[in-house]
Amino acid sequence: MPAKTMDELVALCKRRGFIFQNSDLYGGLQGVYDYGPLGVELKNNLKAAWWRAMVYERDDVEGLDAAILTNHKVLHYSGHEDTFSDPLVDCRECKGRFRADHLEGPKCPNCGSEDLTEPRPFNLMFKTAMGPVDDGGSFAYLRPETAQATFTNFKNVVDSTARRPPFGIAQIGKSFRNEITPRNFIFRVREFEQMELEFFVPPGTDEEWHEKWIQERISWWEEQGIARDNIELLYVTGDDLSHYSKSTVDLMYRFPHGVEELEGIANRTDFDLGSHTKHQSDLDIDANVKPNTESNARMAIQDIETKEWVVPYVIEPAAGVDRGVLAVLNEAYKVEQLEKGERTVLSLPAHLAPIKAAVIPLKRNHDGIVDKARAVKNALQKEGLGRILFENTGNIGKAYRRHDEVGTPLCITVDFQTVEEDNTVTVRDRDTMQQERVAVADLPALLRARISG
Ligand code: ATP
């Protein structure tokens, strides 16, 4: 069962070192969070799972890691300067500012006043000065999506890899949006990470590929522990469609605060490559693009047989890393009633668990046991399966509870029998709470099997 409230998740995240409010000691920075010792592991594991599925396990996707600072011309021709905005209203009474489309009725959510301004567009992009002289002209944007740099690198990737559509370019990285009202913990923030695939396809095959990607992405989220019943599909229509999209399907997840977007899967047509291309009039571009006088690249592929230049269509599955972390935590968080009391357990899929195994000496001051536990930890760490923790706190029961709460799949206890008799250890499983005796030599295979499910 998902977590009861967001507060429970927020409390767990702070208590156990997953996520902290940024600049907390100075009152915080609104809509900005930091990932702590366990959060960074969970987040890295989620990103690694996406990269594995997108790049390594497919034969039609290349990777990219582009810069955050973006030439403002890119975001001019992409349409973001003109249209990447949310409707802003001010309350004349309390001076609060809100997104008009997030209001419940024509009332200020702070003070209840109905004296609100008309909505006006507020551009969400962060600007920053470039170079030593801030003369207003030399500025760059912090990218609002990773996608644009994928489009501007399209020719570089095609020329260096000889790829032809259908193929994709995958990218994971930070994006920035000056959200009017950041809220709901890490759900809506101003600095976040995205995992975006731009999948280039021949025009005419776009709808079929769109459908395929929707199914692929649902299956992937299920592999991350998200119950299918907690995902709804939203077919975005009319004014809610982004300026570049022909059709978008949002994967909506049942977050603790409501059903909201986890990932958007858009058919971006030939809008972006068409927008960034030179000699647009020589090409058959379907989308309504701004005339481009500044680009020096032709974002098209020559058909080997017809010799015609074609601008590919793009299908874009775009997921938020932070929203993903929130969703997997929400799914995994459980409070279980036991015969004696209760336990909090995070039943994360093992490949996402921040710590894969904790190695615990039964006696914290017994040199033989402690040295052996350290050796077991070091050997297991070398298997490259993720973080293995050596934990010398001396209280096994408390260690089990703590590791249940942070989702560690296995606890390995080294005791007298290990060092004096048979080189076996006790392995306790997070989910079943069963304990078994295992030879030290068999630990790597056991952990590997547990992680690969
Ligand atoms: P929303 O409608 O919730 O503002 P969006 O439709 O603008 O989201 P996209 O532009 O489709 O979002 O971005 C792709 C993904 O990036 C989203 O599905 C979401 O997971 C993530 N994302 C977008 N904005 C934010 C944000 N402010 N904070 C955290 N994640 C975000």
What was the pLDDT predicted at 327? 98
CA distance 204 to 49: 31
- Closest among 200, 191, 220 to 349, alpha carbons compared: 220
Tell me, in angstroms, the distance from the centre of ligand 1 to residue 46's CA. Answer: 17
Instruction: Give CA separation, 2 vs 225, 226, 253, 353, in Å.
Output: 11, 10, 11, 17
Residues with CB under 6 A from ligand 1: 145, 177, 179, 188-189, 192, 194, 261-264, 318-320, 322-323
Q: Are 222 and 190 in contact (CB under 8 A)?
A: no
Place of tokens 């390594």: 56
State the pLDDT at residue 2. Answer: 47
Residues with Cβ within 8 Å of residue 360, at least 6 apart in sequence: 373, 391, 392, 393, 396, 399, 411, 412, 413, 414
Q: Which two tokens stand for residue 8?
A: 């429970």
Phi, psi of 210, rounded to the nearest 5 degrees? -60, -50
Asked if 242 contacts 78 with a C-beta cutoff of 8 angstroms, the reply is no
Longest alpha-carbon distance in the chain: 81
Distance in angstroms (rounded) separating the CA atoms of residues 409 and 280: 55
Measured in Å, residue 262 CA sits from the centre of ligand 1 at 7
- Distance, CA 143 to ligand 1 centroid (Å)? 13
Q: Regarding beta strands 69-71 and 309-310, do their DSSP bridges make them parallel or antiparallel, or are they unpaired?
A: unpaired
Report which protein residue has its CA nearest ligand 1's atom 28.
188
Which atom, in ligand 1's list, is nearest to the CA of 194? 16
CA of 320 relative to ligand 1 center, distance in Å: 6
Structural domains in the chain, CATH included, are 6-82+147-329 (3.30.930.10), 355-452 (3.40.50.800)
Q: Whose CA is nearest to atom 30 of ligand 1?
A: 320
Q: Are strands 167-176 and 61-64 parallel, antiparallel or unpaired?
A: parallel
Q: How far is the CA of 260 from the centre of ligand 1 (A)?
A: 10
Atom of ligand 1 nearest to the CA of 177: 27
Give the ligand 1 atom nearest the CA of 250. 18
Cα 245 to Cα 267: distance, rounded to the nearest angstrom: 6
CA 94, CA 371: separation in Å to the nearest integer?
63
Label the pairing between strands 309-310 and 313-320: unpaired
Pocket test for ligand 1, best of 192, 231, 234, 253 (most atoms within 8 A of CB): 192
Residue where the block lists tokens 């997104």: 99
To test the ligand 1 pocket, which listed residue (145, 174, 194) has its Cβ within 8 A of the most ligand atoms? Answer: 194
Q: Which two tokens stand for residue 160?
A: 């260096």
What angle separates helix 206-223 from helix 37-51, to the nearest 10 degrees? 140
Residue burial 320-340, b: 16+ Cβ < 10 Å; e: rest: bbbbbbbbbbbbbbeeeeeee
Query: What one-letter code names the amino acid at 125?
Result: M
| Gap between the Cα atoms of 49 and 352, Å rounded | 8
Nearest atom within ligand 1 for CA of residue 179: 27
Atom of ligand 1 nearest to the CA of 320: 20
Residues of the chain with pLDDT under 50: 1-3
Site of tokens 């703590």: 402
User: What token pair was written down for 35?
Assistant: 């990932």
Q: Which of 154, 144, 142 is nearest to 64 (CA)?
A: 154
Instruction: Report the residue count for the chain.
Output: 453
Q: Of 261, 263, 265, 314, which is best to mutate to test ligand 1, by the most ligand atoms within 8 angstroms of its C-beta?
A: 261
Residue 261 and residue 339: Cα distance in Å, rounded?
39
Whether the bond into 166 is cis, omega within 30 of 0: yes
Place of tokens 């396990």: 57
Residue 46: Cβ within 10 Å count: 24
